[in-house]
Amino acid sequence: MTDSEEALQILRHSTSHLMALAVTQLYPEVHLGIGPATSEGFYYDFQTPRRLTEEDLETIEKKMQELRSQDLPFEPSIVSKKKALKFFKKEGEHLKTELIEERDGEILSCYKLGELVDFCTGPHVFSTSQLGAFKLLSIAGSYWRGDEKREQLQRIYGTAFPQEAELRDYLDHLEEALKRDHRRLGKQLNLFSVADRVAPGLILWHPKGAKVRELIEGFLRLELEKRGYQFVYTPHIAKSDLWKTSGHYEYFRENMFTLPLDEEEYVLKPMNCPGHILIYQSSKRSYRELPVRIAEFGTVYRKEKSGTLHGLLRVRGFTQDDAHIFCRPDQVLDEVTQTLDLAEHVLKSFGFDRLEVALSVWDPAAGKDYAGSPEDWKNAESVLVQALERKGWSYERCEGEAAFYGPKIDVTLVDTLGRSWQLSTFQFDFSLPERFNLTYVGTDSKDHHVVMIHRALLGSLERFMGVLIEHYGGAFPLWLAPVQALIIPISEKSHHYALEVQKALREAERGPIRVETDLRNEKVGYKIREAQLQKVPYMLIVGEREAESQTVAVRNRFQGEQGSMKVEELATLIYDLVDQKVVEEGH
């Protein structure tokens, strides 16, 4: 085996077949689904007579090791579709039979591994002795073909690498990711929760999580207002006719929540753009008024499948940091360049220095599937390329990846663990200006269609918050920390002075510092350990000596003891670090 990505995929796909053989030998009544390789490993879906548990993974993995040692060959064969159907029907493999029935052509590929015969195009390694190091990771529920109305299956996830050392490195990486899992930290740090009594995929923001979200929104609002954006609010519900005009009803209907009201159909908004369009249309616009930049922290609702919901990263109700720019053609290049500048500034302010960029363009051969003329697409692509060149950014060109309504730039950040998260998007739209007849009065006193740009910096506040928690492992930088300092009195005698310090910091000249006081009847060491678990940036220890000198003994969550400081000196330190948006070493 080589180190190529293709070879790794072959290795992992072959290992998924080994797992399928092990499962069918251990549990003969299972039915096979599909078992592809993935970017992180592999999985296989099974319809099982009983629910498999995490304990079963050890048994399956042990069986896989035993089978691998037998040096079983992967035997390919080309058979007729008719013969394959006859075989899999006889075996009772109705899921495989369904896949074969849908396949075009009269012949197909199968692979035999020991007693396992699988409908598969391959390729595979020659024999099980060529398989490397592998590990089964987890079991999750799934549905056949991703359809909640179809058979419920169990999906076993695993990973495989050519060498044992590579597997160990990956498992160490997984362990670190588990420590940083935003769902676990969200509970530990009391940031948010999801309650079945509300609904899956809808977030309850606790005070600390709400504070972080408020700080994110406040920072964004200030940056946008500096750049001429105007904030609006739009309703959470609207008549379905609006979504029919926008095209969302036709293209997005299965993801929309609808409800009857006054003998009409209403929709919980899945997008903010129609509301912003109606605000733009509320008055006649002159070329002198453009560009018009409309922004909103707008909450939207989408009918995501329950199996796809994942903490803050995949939800049914979320708030977009949404904006739409309505401008003249001669303004587009400057507007796009400025939005790229803004995205870079915002993401770096949150501590993300590694950015990756993709340019998604149309496929001219499928021109009839896209809104706008070929000239529109050529001009829009040219503008996006010029903006990227102005920035000096390298980018990946993605042919045929554009949405039907226009080309776009996507900015992806890379987190502490090297994972990529696509957040910022800058999207041309040729469709909505036509659908809503969005115009301005030009210098010739005639109406002209505006150029419309969709723009999001963080994507959604929920998803960004999940990324942020995992990036920092819950230890938010000082400017975002919900509690910046915790005052810990040594004894009850120091409670009065501790509360004086709290009052002074909350009423400090340059604005309140987010500070709390731990007055519990517990030992100082215990309180410090609790504060460390809560990721509080500063612990301020106060006793009789500190009360006499009007100081606090400062402890930093990463660097430990920092010595004594006057309260005013500490406040200045915190203000300066917040202003600079410093990220501490050790997060």
Same domain, 172 and 217: no
Does 408 qualify as catalytic in the annotation? yes
Domain count, the chain: 3
d(CA 394, CA 402): 18
The one-letter amino acid at 500: E
Instruction: Kindly state the tokens that stand for 550.
Output: 């009007």
Cα separation, 303 vs 297, in Å, equals 20
Same domain, 133 and 205: no
Looking at 68, 454, 463, 535, which residue is catalytic? Answer: 454
Query: Of 273, 285, 321, 455, which is the active-site residue?
Result: 273
Q: What is the largest CA-CA distance in the chain?
A: 92
243 within some domain: no
Please count the other Cβ atoms lying within 10 Å of the Cβ belonging to residue 485.
27
Same domain, 16 and 108: yes
- Examine the fold and report which residue of 449, 472, 495 is the final residue of a domain before the chain moves on: 472
Distance CA 295, CA 224 (A): 8
Same domain, yes or no: 47 and 70: yes
Residues 31 and 118 in one domain: yes
Per-residue pLDDT, 587: 63
Per-residue confidence (pLDDT) for residue 257, from 0 to 100: 94
Whether 495 is catalytic = no
33 domain-assigned: yes
pLDDT of residue 103: 85
Tokens of 96: 């495989």
Tell me whether residue 245 is in a domain: no
Task: Tell me the CATH number at 206.
Answer: 3.30.930.10
Q: How far is CA 459 from the centre of its chain?
A: 9
Pairing label, strands 515-517, 485-489: parallel
443 and 495, same domain (yes or no)? no
Question: Quick check: is 135 catalytic?
Answer: no
Written as tens digits, the pLDDT of the chain (587 aa) is 445 888 999 999 999 999 999 999 999 999 999 999 998 999 999 999 889 998 999 999 999 999 999 999 999 999 898 999 999 999 999 999 999 998 888 898 999 999 999 988 889 999 999 999 999 999 988 889 888 888 999 999 999 999 999 999 999 999 999 999 999 999 999 999 999 899 999 999 999 999 999 999 999 999 999 999 999 999 999 999 999 999 888 888 889 999 998 889 999 999 999 999 999 999 999 999 999 999 999 999 999 988 788 999 999 999 999 999 999 999 999 999 999 999 999 999 999 999 999 999 988 877 677 777 888 888 889 999 999 999 999 999 998 888 888 899 999 999 999 999 999 999 998 889 999 999 999 999 999 999 999 999 999 999 999 999 999 999 999 999 999 999 999 999 999 999 999 999 999 989 999 999 999 999 999 999 999 999 999 999 999 999 999 999 999 999 899 999 999 999 999 999 999 988 876 66
8 Å CB contact between 355 and 413 = yes
> Which of 154, 320, 427, 534 does the annotation list as catalytic?
320
Q: Which of these three, 445, 472, 499, is where a domain ends?
A: 472
Q: How far apart (Å, rounded) are the C-alpha atoms in residues 447 and 437? A: 10
In the residue annotation, 320 being an active-site residue is answered as yes
Distance of alpha carbon 63 from alpha carbon 72, whole angstroms: 13
Q: Rounded distance, CA 444 to CA 433, Å?
A: 20
Residue 219 inside a domain? The answer is yes
What DSSP letter does each residue of 115-148 carry, written as one string? TEEEE------SBGGG--EEEEEEEEEEEGGG-T
**Domain of 504?**
485-580
User: Residue 130: its pLDDT value, please?
Assistant: 93
The secondary structure of residue 189, as a DSSP letter, is: T
Co-location of 85 and 215 in the same domain:
no
Tokens 């896949």 found at: 99
H helix runs in 227-312, sequence order: 240-246, 248-252, 273-280
Give the up-direction half-sphere exposure of residue 22: CA atoms within 13 A in the CB hemisphere.
25
Does 31 qualify as catalytic in the annotation? no
Indicate if 205 and 170 belong to the same structural domain: no
Report d(CA 114, CA 46) in Å as an integer.
Answer: 18
Residues whose CB is less than 8 angstroms from the CB of residue 170 and which lie 6 or more positions away in sequence, other chains included: 159, 161
3-state helix, strand, coil in the chain (%, to 5): 40, 25, 30
Reported as type and span, the H/E element at residue 525 is helix 524-533
167/61 same-domain check? yes
Which stretches within 118-246 are classed as H helix? 164-179, 182-188, 207-226, 240-246
Query: Burial letters for 411-442: b for 16+ Cβ neighbours within 10 Å, e otherwise?
Result: bbbebbeeeebebbbbbbbbbbbebbebbbee
- CATH number of the CATH domain containing 559: 3.40.50.800
Q: How far apart are CA 44 and CA 17, in angstroms?
A: 8
Catalytic residue among 182, 276, 302, 555: 302
| Co-location of 216 and 345 in the same domain | yes
CATH number at residue 29: 3.30.980.10
* CA 495/CA 279 separation, integer angstroms: 54
The per-residue pLDDT for 252 is 84
In a domain, 254, yes or no: no
User: Are residues 432 and 541 located together in one domain of the fold?
Assistant: no
d(CA 163, CA 425): 38
User: Could you tell me if residue 47 is inside a domain?
Assistant: yes
* Residue at 242 is within a domain: no
> pTM of the prediction?
0.88
Single out the catalytic residue among 324, 463, 514, 535: 324
**249, part of any domain:** no
What span, in angstroms and rounded, lies between the C-alpha atoms of 504 and 5?
59
* Cα 165 to chain centroid, rounded: 29
One domain for residues 436 and 496 = no
Kindly state the DSSP code that residue 450 receives in the 8-state scheme. P
Active-site residue, selected from the candidate residues 213, 269, 408, 555: 408
The whole-angstrom separation of Cα 186 and Cα 189 is 5
